[in-house]
A and B are shown apart, each in its own frame.
Chain A
Amino acid sequence: MTIPQIEIQLIAVVVAIACAIPGVFLVLRKMALISDAISHSILPGIVLGFFITHDLNSPLLILFAALFGVITVVLVEAIQKTGLVKEDTAIGLVFPILFSIGVLLIAKNANDVHLDIDAVLLGELAFAPFDRFFVGEQDFGPKSLWVMGTILITTCVLLFLFFKELKVSTFDAGLSSALGFSPVLLHYGLMSVSSITVVGAFDAVGAILVVALMITPAAAAYLLTSNLKKMLFLSIFFGIISALGGYWLAHFLDASISGSITTILGVLFLIVYLSAPNKGLISVIIMHKQQKREVMLLTFLLHLNNHSDTTERHINHLNEHINWHKLKSKRILDLALKNNLILIDNEIVNLTEKGQEFTKLAIDYIITNTDEKIEHMKDDFFLFRG
């Protein structure tokens, strides 16, 4: 591997981690789309900063941009407060208007600057190594690495210092107030950090990849755990492998690095989405089916329990009375037979002793929701794990 290649991967990894951390909180606080909004609405900030300094590399650009990020949030909340439109609508109005102002500012002064909007949106990591950080004559490496590295370290420090405050205010804003951790302060702190991260990152990777890096690893992690610490670790992990995987995919296909990283993120998310235990799509579908079958079984047994009249317990009656398809009925019957809960005699279904006991316990559980009596059944039945 050449040095520029290593540098690119390093930058990608640093950006991924720096985005994953605030991303987790945005997802948990249901503010994922703020990242998209900020990534677009900071344009006027960059432009203004450029007009003042005439230097695309000046840190003032980052500052102004981050400022506009916070302004976005403030404007959105101000509009929400008026109650004239719902929350989402406010977001969808503010960032396009700010972005348009930015574009107009650029167009009006087209002679002064070449701010390629393409690059703003799409970004290209491949060029990052060429933008070096010079102190005097000494080359310290790619500028992006220094900028993002600083942001990452700051984020980590803040995370470490304010972990429990963030945790409480994310899961229980009321409690957080009561404990004296101002949720408003934490909220704006989080917004500022997100803003600065977006600004720092999109110079290297473009606006869209930033959004993907913030939301996707966190969303995938959220499907695997509800524990905040685990979620943070998983997000960081997913971010890193997507960054590296994406780089090599781009290398192999000779395509855009940002696009490749996003694609890898997408594939990763898809895999988790489908296969996550408990919360993934496949698991959910299987569990639903199983649970449905169990509920039907129980209904069937309860029905037997409630009706001593033999006509009600005739096999055919099941179809009419309980309104199930023939196929379903047969499956339920088989399941009950297999578990020794019923006996079929002359096409009349009777509860066995085990069946009766099971039914009684099940009814008790359902009504009172106390589960001590059915502990031993939990392994076999989803229903009682509820």
Chain B
Amino acid sequence: MKNPIAVRVDDLTVAYNYKPVLWDIDLEIPEGVLMAIVGPNGAGKSTLIKSILGIIKPIAGSISIYDKPYKKQRELVAYVPQKGSVDWDFPTTAQDVVLMGTYGDLGWIKRPGSKEKKLALEALEKVGMLAFKNRQISQLSGGQQQRIFLARALVQNASIYFMDEPFQGVDASTEIAIINILKELRKSGKTVVVVHHDLQTVPEYFDWVTFLNVKKIATGPVKDIFNDDNLTKTYGINYKVAINK
């Protein structure tokens, strides 16, 4: 039985000033995959995610989540931005940041209560950060900060997760912890889309991959399309990679 399409991107085009960043992207992400988006720097990977989430306005194109427009399906989608996109000197604790993940469900004005706090603590435990719940976020290491961001998304209990370079600048144990959580998400039927910077680990971590360089080069199961041909088309030089078949 073929899986339903969780995310459909049609003719997405985004340009900054005079530079085209994404051209005519058509993409179908089936439900339940753990997908990596790879491509060289400036290929538009972050832009793709931000356009899907409505953070950046495209010049053309449409996004649908389970066949409905994204704006109507927000509660199904969770976002883990790049670590460097926030000021970590902001006065707040780890628990507080994770609690922010409940704000979407609460809607305007309502305050987080004991139910939300419980969800936050559970998420903190899942990422191994329960002991740090009262720690000021500026005192956390890079890996710990990334875990907090992940916990914040987990709290949303979404169906689809978008993550922007979650393994960038984290220690080895955090990387392992995160990928295990992602695999668990996939096992429970969630769809996970990750902008990934490290080609070496793609076959090991992901089952689907999209090659992106302003245009979509290829997308599909790793075993089918993660090959030298597509790598060369995307990165422009002769790429040799050993894939564990």
Q: Is the CB of B13 closer than 8 A to any CB of chain A?
A: yes
Contact A386 B19 (CB under 8 A): yes
Contact with A along B157-171 (1 / 0, CB 8 A): 000000000000000
- Bound-state CA distance A321–B26 (Å) is 11
User: Which residues of chain A come closer than 8 Å to B24, judged between CB atoms?
Assistant: 299, 302-303, 306
Q: Is the CB of B175 closer than 8 A to any CB of chain A?
A: no
Q: Using known A-B contacts A324-B60, A383-B18, determine if residue A299 contacts B11 with beta carbons closer than 8 Å.
A: yes
User: Which residues of chain A come closer than 8 Å to B214, judged between CB atoms?
Assistant: 366-367
Q: Using known A-B contacts A321-B10, A322-B11, A367-B215, determine if residue A296 contacts B59 with beta carbons closer than 8 Å.
A: yes
Contact B10 A386 (CB under 8 A): no
User: Which residues of chain A come closer than 8 Å to B60, judged between CB atoms?
Assistant: 295-296, 299, 322-324
User: Which residues of chain B come closer than 8 Å to A385, judged between CB atoms?
Assistant: 18
Q: Is the CB of B17 closer than 8 A to any CB of chain A?
A: yes
Complex partner residue of A295 from B20, B62, B213, B236, CB under 8 angstroms = B20
User: Which residues of chain B come closer than 8 Å to A368, judged between CB atoms?
Assistant: 236
Q: How far is the CB of A90 from chain B (nearest CB, A)?
A: 15
Contact B59 A366 (CB under 8 A): no
Q: Using known A-B contacts A323-B60, A367-B214, A367-B215, determine if residue A303 contacts B18 with beta carbons closer than 8 Å.
A: no
Q: Is the CB of B61 closer than 8 A to any CB of chain A?
A: yes
Contact B11 A303 (CB under 8 A): yes
Interface size class of A (residues with CB under 8 A): 20 to 34
Q: Is the CB of B23 closer than 8 A to any CB of chain A?
A: yes
Closest-by-CB residue of A relative to B16 is A386
Closest-by-CB residue of A relative to B63 is A323
Closest-by-CB residue of B relative to A291 is B18
User: Which residues of chain B come closer than 8 Å to A298, judged between CB atoms?
Assistant: 20, 23
Complex partner residue of B20 from A306, A323, A383, CB under 8 angstroms = A383
Q: How far is the CB of B23 from chain A (nearest CB, A)?
A: 6
Closest-by-CB residue of B relative to A300 is B60
Interface size class of B (residues with CB under 8 A): 10 to 19
Closest-by-CB residue of A relative to B215 is A367
Q: How far is the CB of A356 from chain B (nearest CB, A)?
A: 15
- Bound-state CA distance A302–B22 (Å) is 12
Q: Using known A-B contacts A299-B23, A299-B24, A323-B60, determine if residue A382 contacts B213 with beta carbons closer than 8 Å.
A: no
Q: Is the CB of B15 closer than 8 A to any CB of chain A?
A: yes
Contact with B along A306-333 (1 / 0, CB 8 A): 1000000000000001111000000000
Q: Is the CB of A363 closer than 8 A to any CB of chain B?
A: yes
- Bound-state CA distance A298–B17 (Å) is 15
Q: How far is the CB of A289 from chain B (nearest CB, A)?
A: 12
Contact with B along A272-316 (1 / 0, CB 8 A): 000000000000000000011001101100110010000000000
Contact with A along B1-43 (1 / 0, CB 8 A): 0000000001101010111100110100000000000000000
- Bound-state CA distance A306–B214 (Å) is 15
Contact A295 B15 (CB under 8 A): yes
Closest-by-CB residue of A relative to B17 is A386
Contact B23 A302 (CB under 8 A): yes
Contact with A along B54-82 (1 / 0, CB 8 A): 00000111100000000000000000000
User: Which residues of chain A come closer than 8 Å to B213, judged between CB atoms?
Assistant: 367
Contact A382 B18 (CB under 8 A): yes
User: Which residues of chain A come closer than 8 Å to B10, judged between CB atoms?
Assistant: 321-323
User: Which residues of chain A come closer than 8 Å to B18, judged between CB atoms?
Assistant: 291, 382-383, 385-386
User: Which residues of chain B come closer than 8 Å to A291, judged between CB atoms?
Assistant: 15, 17-18
User: Which residues of chain A come closer than 8 Å to B61, judged between CB atoms?
Assistant: 322-323
Q: How far is the CB of B56 from chain A (nearest CB, A)?
A: 14
- Bound-state CA distance A306–B15 (Å) is 19
Q: How far is the CB of B214 from chain A (nearest CB, A)?
A: 6
Q: A298, A299, A368, A382 — which one has the most chain B CB atoms within 10 A of its CB?
A: A299
Contact A363 B13 (CB under 8 A): no
- Bound-state CA distance A63–B15 (Å) is 54
User: Which residues of chain A come closer than 8 Å to B62, judged between CB atoms?
Assistant: 321-323
Q: Using known A-B contacts A321-B10, A386-B18, determine if residue A299 contacts B59 with beta carbons closer than 8 Å.
A: yes
Q: How far is the CB of B211 from chain A (nearest CB, A)?
A: 12
Q: How far is the CB of A304 from chain B (nearest CB, A)?
A: 10
Q: How far is the CB of A72 from chain B (nearest CB, A)?
A: 25
User: Which residues of chain A come closer than 8 Å to B20, judged between CB atoms?
Assistant: 295, 298, 366, 383
Contact A299 B13 (CB under 8 A): yes
Contact with B along A110-151 (1 / 0, CB 8 A): 000000000000000000000000000000000000000000
Beyond the given pairs A291-B15, A321-B11, 17 more chain A to chain B contacts, judged by CB atoms under 8 angstroms and listed by A's residue number, are: A295-B20, A299-B13, A299-B24, A299-B60, A303-B24, A306-B24, A321-B10, A322-B11, A322-B61, A322-B62, A323-B11, A323-B61, A363-B23, A366-B20, A367-B215, A386-B17, A386-B18
List 15 contacting pairs A-B, 8 Å CB cutoff, sorted by A.
A295-B15, A295-B20, A296-B60, A299-B11, A299-B23, A303-B11, A321-B62, A323-B10, A323-B11, A323-B62, A366-B20, A367-B213, A368-B236, A383-B20, A386-B18
- Residues on A facing B (Cβ under 8 Å): 291-292, 295-296, 298-299, 302-303, 306, 321-324, 363, 366-368, 382-383, 385-386
- Residues on B facing A (Cβ under 8 Å): 10-11, 13, 15, 17-20, 23-24, 26, 59-62, 213-215, 236
Query: Nearest 8 CB-CB pairs, A to B?
Result: A386-B18, A323-B62, A299-B13, A302-B24, A295-B15, A299-B60, A322-B60, A322-B11
